[in-house]
Amino acid sequence: TQAELTVVELSDDMVRRQQARFPGVRITTDRAALAHCNVVVGTSTMLLNDTLDAMLAAAPRARRFAVIGPSAGLWPDALFARGVTLLGGTRVVDGDGFRKAMASGDSWSGTARKFALSAVDWPGWKSLLAPRA
């Protein structure tokens, strides 16, 4: 089987710049381009610019809808309830090293670990906070 890559951007300027860099990729500002997609991977920027719900609505055939990125480190329950199936983010494991790297402009990759949470496997926040018997 062959996969087709579609990128949806918010600005025409970004579309032009990305088309110049990736001429073989369909890049558009039209969310309707996601209508036929069965897998969607979106950045956590959707959480910051308040476009997640619109993107979910634009991809009604998506069996899998992942939200990934450093801004995705949050309780996933509300996202899973909306239709997100996977949340991938970053967890800082060395706070002091992270602060130093950020202050100096160095890479902070050695101070953090990636994670992925699946809607299928997620027990929910109430279950995680429930007293153990």
User: Going residue by residue through the chain (133 aa), what tens digit of pLDDT does each one get?
Assistant: 678 899 999 999 999 999 999 998 999 999 999 999 999 999 999 999 999 999 999 999 999 999 999 889 889 999 999 999 999 999 999 999 999 999 999 999 999 999 999 999 999 999 989 998 7
Distances, alpha carbon 38 to alpha carbons 21, 32, 72, 113, 118, in Å: 25, 13, 22, 28, 17
- The residue extents of the domains of the chain are 1-34, 35-129
Look-up of token digits 């902070």: 108
Q: How far apart are CA 124 and CA 77, in angstroms?
A: 6
Q: Hey, which CATH number is domain 35-129, 1.10.101, 3.30.43, 3.40.50, 2.60.40?
A: 3.40.50
Look-up of token digits 């088309």: 19
